[in-house]
Structure 1
């Protein structure tokens, strides 16, 4: 069930809420430059097993409104807090992928993990984000030939072979975002990081990371795990940046075991 939630005057965030009567809730936060549809292969399985799956499109992405401002981690975490409040969520698992992982970490620190009882970080952009040169190259490519940027990103994203139609679906998700929002989030990844927030996380935390990740190297996951007390790091040996796609059955089973 899709709906819009207002986070600022004139700015509405699209929220997908599948199986609202589910016994436990998992809130998925997508990565750059995609949208909530990236978790299709979780939605195919988890709701039928009794889980409530909530997800949102960041401002500027997917079906959400696309303002020209508001793309820092603080504002994105605040948007998430408003959605959590509007849905009256409590005791839920927050699962963030890539940049969505950084947003989840900022949420945990800035809003004291409001409502969250477990955290899942999937190839999260942490502890640091994207180096200046790489980020600037992505920004330049985004503002000059975004389809080609997305094509190149697709080639970097996966370890396993994907079909042409799947690659096209990936690109179409990226093209649903505004170009300026795509560039703005990359600037945030260049200029901000969540290093100092990691030690503030006290809920049980599962860290999932593809061993062959070319976007956020596996070593970043190891470093994040060391900084979050008591966290569990699970390497995915046959994945790049998207284990929820490349090893979806294992990922789903691991998530079910962790959430309980």
Structure 2
């Protein structure tokens, strides 16, 4: 087993290639593994990390490579590599019978993990505002953004990343957050490695998980904001037996806009 360094509430887990991921591991009970979206790290789940462990949940939040406190190599920013890194975390922390939660891009990565690693260590999955099976349009897929829009964002990331992040984050919420919250979220976003940010935008533009949905054989719950611009009809088709939870007052950022409901539905699904 690879050695891991431990902080007060977290681990640095080696995933190979001299890359270490930071993992928050808090509480005891049923494990719930949280995969963050773009452009922030697992710290976006503050309101889960500080609540769910008091309710019998083991919170496990992973900073993907290039995000948060994890190492920042120049390469490896693909759904396949993210999924392989997550597998190493499951192995090193001996995580079993977990609920895997993926938000936005993290939802797409969760799908890739489940298909690529046959659901190793996972017994349930939550897709929250998930960018899956595709984030962009194709000739046979009318949902999402045109690829050209994403290409323009990738170019903008090379020219004025702070402005792009501010503009990008402003589209997440149906309810207007406080300015202090926006400043906090933007600071987290700016802390993401610039290469990881740009390459993750490229993942959103070109990764395709349509063939993977039918390879997932655990109970799935889909969380979706009623006012989210990301359609979730393809997910419903891909997971016809999934439970659907609509967040009536939320846009894309349902984790924050209805955090009490988000936590309650996580608990309900995990403990069922």
TMscore range, shorter length: over 0.9
- The offset of 1:195, in angstroms, is 1.0
Cα deviation for residue 135 of structure 1 reads: 1.1
Q: Secondary structure, in 3 states, of the residue corresponding to 2:152?
A: helix
Q: Does 1:97 align with 2:103?
A: yes
Measured in 1, the distance between the counterparts of 2:209 and 2:134 equals 6
State the TM-score, normalized to the length of structure 2. Answer: 0.91
Partner of 2:80: 74
Q: Is the 8 A contact 1:25 1:92 kept in 2?
A: yes
Contact 1:143 / 1:180 at 8 angstroms: preserved in 2?
no
Question: For 2:220 and 2:269, how far apart are their aligned partners in 1?
Answer: 9
- SS across alignment from 1:157: coil
Task: Kindly report which structure 2 residues correspond to 1:27-38, keeping only aligned pairs within 5 A, or say none.
Answer: 27-38=33-44
Q: Equivalent residue of 2:180, what SS?
A: helix
Partners in 1 of 2:17 and 2:79 — Cα distance?
19
Unpaired runs of 5+ residues, structure 1, are none
**TM-score after normalising by structure 1:** 0.95
Q: Does residue 177 in structure 1 map to residue 177 in structure 2?
A: no
The CA deviation string for residues 124-145 of structure 1, in whole angstroms up to 9 with x for no partner, is: 0112123311211211121111
When you count helix as a share of all residues, which structure comes out higher? 1
Aligned counterpart, 1:236 = 247
Counterpart CA distance in 2 for 1:173 and 1:57 is 12
Q: State how far apart, in whole Å, the 2-side matches of 1:97 and 1:222 are.
A: 16
Residue 189 of structure 1: which of 204, 225, 231 is its match? 204
Q: Deviating runs (4+, > 3 A) in structure 1?
A: none
Runs of 5+ consecutive residues of structure 2 not aligned to the other structure: 1-8, 137-145
Q: Deviations over 1:190-220 (max 9, x none)?
A: 1211111011111000000111113xx2x3x
Query: Equivalent residues in 2 for 1:124-163 (5 A)?
Result: 124-130=130-136, 131-163=146-178
Partner of 1:207: 222
Instruction: Give the one of 227, 248, 270 matched to 1:259.
Output: 270
Q: Aligned residue for 2:26?
A: 18
Query: What is the RMSD computed on CA atoms of the aligned residues?
Result: 1.0
Deviations 1:163-196 (A, max 9, x none): 1110011111111111111000111111211111
Task: Give distance in 2, aligned partners of 1:189 and 1:250.
Answer: 27
